[in-house]
Structure 1
């Protein structure tokens, strides 16, 4: 971590101009690089010069200590204080790069109505703009080590070690390290807060997710039960269809069987009718033959009778006429022969007649049998056709019902094969409905809520991991900055300590500069210890050392610190207060020696005349005549 430079080159104050300010009506006070000593009696207006400087630079503590309108010269309505900085270019760069002029003027106007404003190079600017300009020069008028008003040496000695360390850090340009630590700590606090907030949200999200996970499981059970119910309903619908299908198949099979029976009956009936017809024909033929035989028999019997009668006549004639006897005998023989033939034919005819009658009777029996069988078959056929008609009617009805069941079943889903009993399936549906009734309160948004909260949890887990990583980085960054701050402070104090001890030795003192509580930047402080005339070093405070010892010790520390202060301009009012003449002369000598190694400008106010000091480059004498302060430059 490198500190960026805040200034392009060193500058100095060329002059301070006072107009209607305090006891000054008008004064131009020139200054030179190095040490500028402002001297004069008490009440002459020396401190007003340093107050005017801090006021022009926008120092804030003066505004809190008194009203600005009280600083206007009595009887005047407005006052103005101006500070003219050297802004000449060196190596092509100016201390205030925004301006092309060699002199840069900062002014402050005060009015008795309480209004005041700032000007930079005669243009009105804000106080923040003044701070920005001064920051380019590394000048902070609010730091007592830059502008130390009257009595501030005692203040510096009395402030707590923490405030003293902050003041030194700001003066030497190390406050940025503290600011970076504070920013890193603020960042860490933010990261911790963010992590805590995310972890809180994560915990809440986990609890919420657990609830919705349970609801989602119930929702899934409900969906499974619904699917199961739908499957059972589908199975039940198709089970009824299959049962009806079996019924239709049985009817169709039964009808087919009946039709086969009917076909056989029809075939049998046809055969019977044929036999009946044949029997009838045979019977008719036999009847005809019997009639013929009857006629033949009658004919033969008639012939036999006629022949017998003729024979009887011939027998009678034989007795009548012998002449005719011979002829009659011949005729008798013929008649007897005819009678014999007739008898033979009669016998034959009678025999044939008996035979034919027997055949007729048999044929009649067959005919009767055939007629009876025909009647029976016809009756059976009639019954069978009626039964088939009823079955076909029943079949059509069952087919219609089958079609309706198929339509209903198709609405439940595609066809499924099942051998289960419908009652068993209905029992499963009943049990499923009972289970579903226990899940009626399950939200329809359970799945969406679960997935949304799961996604939220995953996002928060990622954020928590990132927050933890950021917190570790912030903590690591904080530790790095703390270590860098401690290192820079320790390096500074190591150098200051050496010079501080050296200067203390010259005034017969010993002491140390210590960083206390270095692990905690809030409690860390700068502690000075000092002991004079062989005494053990004690912590510098308002109760242990005398006023002169405190002033001498603090001045030794300030001199040791000077070469590290970034501001090119320092103001110091009556540093020698409470010092004995020897230490006063010694401190001034140390200040002059410091000038040889420093390119800074010092404005030092002292109430008395310095003896044995001839190297002061610029001495400004201040005196008050008739209520008006005047200045003159003395060599």
Structure 2
């Protein structure tokens, strides 16, 4: 009411019109829907119906500064800069709504008023998507269609919420709509008569006050005129005093000058008559001093030139020294690196030389055995033998001569058996051998390509894995220190898998002395232990993840009183440090006598259908609580005595 009265008196200060409150600016086309419409807009507690809407940002800034900041009034002020017209239109025509769902119309189609207000309500409360009807309708059809989140049927309001747990589905909440207080044009004649009597009484009182104010104003004007006259007289007296003081100061100054002149005259009368001899002596001394000073100036100039040259030489020498030191450091570092590389190369050479001698001895023994075995072969067998020999040279051999002869005889027996049973076996063998060679070449090519991809993966991995390990290590240190402060232990590490998609963060905790660190899961630890671990892990991320604010909702619900007190103290101390982000802890209940400090604020939100229209100051509730506590404690004390 105060904001509306102030706006009426100061409309000339704004460039465009200020609309509000909305309940006075909009009308209902059909009063039969008054209960449904007002309930969907929030009812008697709605901030939407009491909101003010500005058309320009300049008017919005001025109005909020005067009403909200200066008058300390709590109200909703909006400036819909740009409203998307697609968001304020109904999703379908009224005919489609009636034909498909049996509803009368959308809520936005029942309101009349300035277009900016209707668009504002559609944008803020989405009333253009809320269908209404005064007849019976199939609420299940409306809920399952997935098009409507709210709708009204007769005197009931429906709200549809979608849940995804289990098989999923919709949950529909139903409540009765409130009786309209604002949108119905009902008039209480007794109240109107009472208001008119009060207005008449106030008008008479206003006339009497105007008369008293006029009398007081006349008296005030007379006294103000007399005060002006007295001020002029005071200024005249003050100016006369200044003139007298100024003349006195001039007289004192002239008197001092006369006394000074008289003293000088007396000194001149007592001075010697002839001072030429003394003046000549002073002139000779002055000439000697001038000559000496000129000589010293020349010496100083020479020293200054030498000093400047020395400073320049010193600067050049310092630069050369810095350059030489830099070269020396580079050469020393290069020498150390080369020495290390040389040592590693020599060690590798010695190892390679030893392996070479060992391999060479084995190869010579194999060569002697192979040459002895291939002396008595025919030409065709020698070709196969040479091929096997080349393969041995490339791949090596770990079999003895006897084992090789047995293998040869076995292969010959297989060949004779296969030839007897299947004359085309050799052709099939050669055909399959060609396919095997082709597949082997393909495997080798793809293996080479796979090795290249793995090498690229390792190169990319070597750039980000150390940073990830370092970052998780810092989180683990902070997390372990936080758990240690409450008498527990814990660590955070990276869970590595062959598939990068399966990588993750593992949290291991220990809440009892007789157990080891265990992985934090939903089955192994209790709800309170999981809540403690989660909040301490989030607090460990505070210094690493920058954000303007943080919100934690009902983190203390699964904790026992001991853990809740310790975690609350940790949150308060961590969130109250200078330079940290704003921290919101939302909870429906708190334990008494928790740890608090002056850098935090506690906000109690009162919510419910039967809240009073206006809350009392918080001091009144505290006084009532103290009086209730003292009155309830007196019977106990008297009974104990």
Q: Same fold (TM over 0.5)?
A: no
TM-score for the superposition, normalised by structure 2: 0.26
TM-score for the superposition, normalised by structure 1: 0.26
Q: Which structure carries more strand by proportion? A: 1
